């Protein structure tokens, strides 16, 4: 999911994260779950068409940060009861990480 870009550090260099990936990695189906997440820089490289080849768009993904979030208590209950659990999880995780999601 696209996010309002943030600046982070990787290997001593400033990098811009503009994409957020969230996955459920563990869930006891009772009261606790763990999500893994990535903050990425996603960009496009456009190779112009020529006489023999059409234009090509190459998607470049640089994984900048990898981490985990645990959800328990009332948050777990609200996620479980949500009509759109995926969006709820992204919204919840964005708040935990102080990210601004960009809806497409």
Give a yes or no: residue 27 inside a domain.
yes
Which structural domain, as residue segments, surrounds residue 90?
2-97
Q: Is residue 25 part of a domain?
A: yes
Distance CA 12, CA 72 (A): 35
Give the model confidence (pLDDT) of 4-29 as tens digits.
999 999 889 999 999 999 999 999 99
Q: Is 55 within the bounds of a domain?
A: yes
Does the predicted TM-score (pTM) go above 0.85? yes
E-strand stretches of the chain? 2-10, 13-27, 32-47, 56-72
Residue 104 scores a pLDDT above 80 = no
Average pLDDT score, the chain: 96
In a domain, 104, yes or no: no
Q: How many domains does the chain have?
A: 1
Residue 8: phi, psi to the nearest 5? -135, 175
């Amino acid at each position: 999911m696209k996010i309002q870009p943030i600046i982070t550090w990787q290997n001593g260099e400033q990098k811009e994260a503009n994409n957020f990936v969230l996955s459920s990695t563990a869930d006891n189906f009772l009261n606790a779950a763990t999500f893994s997440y990535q903050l990425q820089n996603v960009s496009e490289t456009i190779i112009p068409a020529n006489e023999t080849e059409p234009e090509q768009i190459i998607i470049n993904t640089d994984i900048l940060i990898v981490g985990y979030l645990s959800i328990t208590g009332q948050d777990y209950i609200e996620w479980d009861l949500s009509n759109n659990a995926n969006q709820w999880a992204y919204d919840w995780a964005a708040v935990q990480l102080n990210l601004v999601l960009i809806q497409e």
